[in-house]
Structure formats: structure tokens, C-alpha cells
Structure 1
């Protein structure tokens, strides 16, 4: 009886160890030389969870023809997509996301581009005595430095 239990436990252990999958490493997407790479950020409403919704949308987008990279951030309800404009378009991608789950669950809209501050906006906007006050004053006039004014 003890031998049967031992053999059974050994078989179960072997099955568990051989059936476990290791996570495949992500391969860097191959981009064709003639690809016209563009980026798109879209707002997605209707997501209710990170694993079921966001990961599903990201997975489906990643498999779509013309998509080079797709990242869906559940917390921000945003999808960031890098795609080949020769194979697909912004309108196609938005319609594709709208159509996931039968078209009734998610609503995608293009996210308005945000202004990106350049490296000079990291200055303390003239709170310190800079040697180049003129350059500092110009930086402080930038919209992205508005929150850093003294």
C-alpha cells in the first residue's frame, strides 16, 4: 500500500513538473525597412479590470497586422500603439478596439497629444541664481514650466 502511494505521488509530481509552462521571452518586433512607423495613443472607456480587459485588448492589438507594439495601461485607460502606417491607420486601430468583445463593451477615441517639456524645463525656473538669467527666463515662459515658477 505504501509503495502504491509513493508511486502515485511520484507520478503526480512528474506531471506537475512537466506540465508547467515557462513564460516565453518577448521578442523584439521586426520592423520592415520600408515601414512608416507612427505612434497613437487612444483613450479606452469600458474597461473594468486589468487582467480581463486591458490584457485582452493589448493581446488582440499586438496580433493585429501592422501593429509593431501595443501597451494598454488600465489605470490610465490608455492604449499606446506603435504601428506601420503602410499596413494600417489610426482610424482602423480605433475601430478595431471598438469592435473587441462584439463592439458593445469598449469605446476608443484618439487621445489629444500632450505637450512634452524639453530638458531645459527641468530647471527650478529661476529660483536659483543662474549664470544665464536670460535663458532661464525664457524657460520659465514655457507652458510646461508653469508649475515650477517661483
Structure 2
């Protein structure tokens, strides 16, 4: 009976220690990217925005077709400006879009 209690205690301790993840506070940053290659609002801008919104580390993404600008709030602990630019450049097989950093006003 004592051996069962020890084994159960060790199993619970292992479960708790491996199940707990470190909760990092997001390091929020913002980037504005110019995107060339967009030809329409629905097919291009909305698709890029939807894909960015699902990317790990992206907190918020807005793509404005008429300005050819993406404004992205992201967690710098998880992703980077360079990674976001590469991600956009890779959408649609990498043949359509080219993202470059803008200066935020």
C-alpha cells in the first residue's frame, strides 16, 4: 500500500512538472510593411490578413489593399519582423507578394 502511494505521488509530480508551461508575458511590437503584388482586396489583401492572423506570434494583423500596407502587432518573443516579411513573401508559393518594412508614423 505504501509503495502504491509513493508511485502515485511520483506520477502526479511528473505530470504537474511536465504539464506546466512557462507563461511568458508577450513582448508586443508593431511593424508596418509595404506589400507589392496585390491585385485585389478580397483575393489578395484579405488572404494575406487571414494567413497572418493565424501565424504563431501575431497578435493582430490588418492589410489595407488601397495603401498596400500591412500593420502587424506581434509578440517579439515568438516571431520577428524578418520572419513576418519572409512569411508574407512565401504566401502563394513565393511568386506573388514582396513585403518590405515601412517606417511607422
User: Partners of 1:35 and 1:102 in 2: how far apart?
Assistant: 30
Residue 68 of structure 1 aligns to a residue whose secondary structure is strand
Larger radius of gyration: 1
Partner of 2:57: 66
Normalized against structure 1, the TM-score is what?
Answer: 0.54
Q: More relative contact order in 1 or in 2 (CA 8 Å, sep 6+)?
A: 2
Q: Indicate whether 1:108 and 2:99 are aligned.
A: yes
Please tell me whether the aligned partners of residues 31 and 104 of structure 2 are also in contact (alpha carbons under 8 angstroms).
no
Q: Indicate whether 1:92 and 2:72 are aligned.
A: no
Q: Would you tell me which structure has more strand in proportion to its own residues?
A: 2
In the alignment, structure 2 segments of 5+ residues that lack a partner are 1-22
In the alignment, structure 1 segments of 5+ residues that lack a partner are 1-31, 115-150
- Give the root-mean-square deviation of aligned CA atoms: 1.1
Question: What is the aligned length?
Answer: 83
Normalized against structure 2, the TM-score is what?
Answer: 0.76
Partner of 1:55: 46
